[in-house]
Amino acid sequence: MYICAITGHRPTRFKFKYNENDSRCKHLKRRLREQFVELYDQGVRRFLVGGALGVDMWSGEILLKMKLEPDYKDIELVVVLPYPGHDERWDERSKKRLAFLIEHSTEHITVGQKAWRDSFIQRNRYLVGHADCLLAVYDNERSIRSGTGMTVNYAKKKKVPVILIHPDIMEMVWLQ
């Protein structure tokens, strides 16, 4: 079984911020679904998401919806959390969305023990270390210091193929 890990920016990094009704957010979600279908057609059945707001959350929700369709019922969603209670400062709606993902996932894993930077690094390295490819919503041209950028660079270092979706223009690029 092929495995794909997913990473991407938090909503604050997008031009549309937290507005999921914005046409750009809807376009990004459609692009993610298209890529999940393509990956599924290539044999990917297990998808790993990092349990963060934004791309992780949206991807998990899209994959759970796909799993309800007869053609994709064998999709497995794994939620990989950095540490217990990492969502304690989130608003109630976001906490409920994450709880729903965890409840309906095939598996959830918590890699760290406490709230510190290394737990996020461990989570991102776990994602890359347990995947055959990485799908990242990331602008590879701008050197933005972020967990997403570090995860993409770690995947490149480990020779894990990376599929980039540009967050502004939705262009797809494969990095080998």
Residue 66 belongs to a domain with what CATH number? 3.40.50.450
Residue ranges making up the domain that contains 153: 2-175
Domain count, the chain: 1
Mean per-residue pLDDT, 4-24: 91
Could you read off the pLDDT of 49-76 as tens digits, one per residue? 999 999 999 999 999 999 999 999 999 9
Could you read off the pLDDT of 101-146 as tens digits, one per residue? 999 999 999 999 998 989 999 999 999 999 999 999 987 766 567 8
Written in H, E and C, the secondary structure of the chain is CEEEEEEECCHHHCCCCCCCCCHHHHHHHHHHHHHHHHHHHCCEEEEEECCCCCHHHHHHHHHHHHHCCHHHCCCEEEEEECCCCCCCCCCHHHHHHHHHHHHHCCEEEECCCCCCHHHHHHHHHHHHHCCCEEEEECCCCCCCCCHHHHHHHHHHHCCCCEEEECCCCCCEEEEC
Query: Is 97's pLDDT higher than 80?
Result: yes
